[in-house]
Amino acid sequence: MDNPIGFPNSNIESLDPHFLEKAEQCPACKAEAKELLRVPTINPKAQDTLALMECLSCGHWWHNPLPDQKYLTKLYEQDSEFVVNAQALTKFGALKEEQLLKFVKPILKDFPAGKSFNYLEIGSGAGHILKYFSGLAQSAWGVEPSRAKNEPKLIPDIDDLPTDIKFDCIVAQDVLEHVTDPSGMLKKIRQRTNKGGLIYAGFPNKDSFKARMMKAKWSMVRPVGHLHYFSSASIDRIFKQAGWEVLNKRPARIGDTSAWEIIKEFDYGMANLPYRLIKSLLLGQLLLGKDQWKIRAVAL
């Protein structure tokens, strides 16, 4: 999409309408949709609002209008407050060793020590998981728009990958909710993947009771940092369209934490403990906390 004034700087207080596209039909199945409500963006300086849409067929949620992908990528490169919370940036490098090992353990069941494979990570963040697999894989590459400076195998865009390599193990954790076209992104990844390669993905679970109950107050609804919220049906459609077969699909808590881990790590010294035990621990985390999807799919 052309715009004679070019991309804006990250301190803008309004989204540029030149780079916003109407998205009134479902991105997953092209069915008709209804507008649930309008939601402000996560930029505290801005007055923009976007519609939260729901597909009448597969139940997928998304925002309308959607930003053009090149514009969106530029916002991420600039760490714009439209896509990245300023507080989150200060925690960008934080990842405990036990969290890392917990994340990679299921992947190592498919790619044990000694197995030859190429690794690709979309949304590498600070690069902790990429660094881990760099010591195991024949070749390991990462894609991260805002953190790709001076790292030869950490690049800003999937289109910058070398054309002479295909991958067997792909991680796309907390990625598909951030892109304009999730199916299009999965197709690009599939083109870079050997047949039989595996992708491990995670993103917001719109089917969760917390999402359906809270709607715009659900913490995952945060445009334009998040653009898509997936139902079980929309996952199947989007992955199939892109050349993948979903092998495993399960609801999970953020960080894939177990009920025991939540109980053990809860702050029992906080004020108003009985109220917090019921609202935060019992309701918010134990009963309603599984508002993410964990996906394992194979390239067809």
Q: Does 39 sit behind a cis peptide bond, omega within 30 degrees of 0 on the bond before it?
A: no
pLDDT band at residue 151 using 50, 70 and 90 as cut-offs: confident
What DSSP element (H or E) covers 298?
Answer: strand 292-299
Segment of 2-6, 240-244, 288-292 carrying the highest mean pLDDT: 240-244
Q: Where are the beta strands (DSSP E) in 118-277?
A: 118-122, 139-143, 154-155, 167-173, 193-204, 228-229, 244-252
Give the N- to C-terminal CA distance of the chain in Å, as an integer: 32
With beta carbons less than 8 A apart as the criterion, state whether 62 and 53 touch.
Answer: yes
Lowest-pLDDT range of 1-5, 86-90, 191-195:
1-5
Q: Residue 269: its pLDDT value, please?
A: 72
Q: Regarding predicted confidence, which is higher, 158 or 94?
A: 158
- Identify the pLDDT of residue 60: 98
pTM of this prediction? 0.88
What separation in angstroms does the CA of 144 have from each of 78, 79, 124? Answer: 12, 12, 5
The pLDDT mean for the chain works out to 87
Digit-coded pLDDT (tens) for 54-87: 999 999 999 999 999 999 999 988 889 999 876 5
Report the pLDDT value the prediction gives residue 5, as an integer from 0 to 100. 40
Number of alpha helices (DSSP H) and beta strands (DSSP E) in the chain: 9, 13
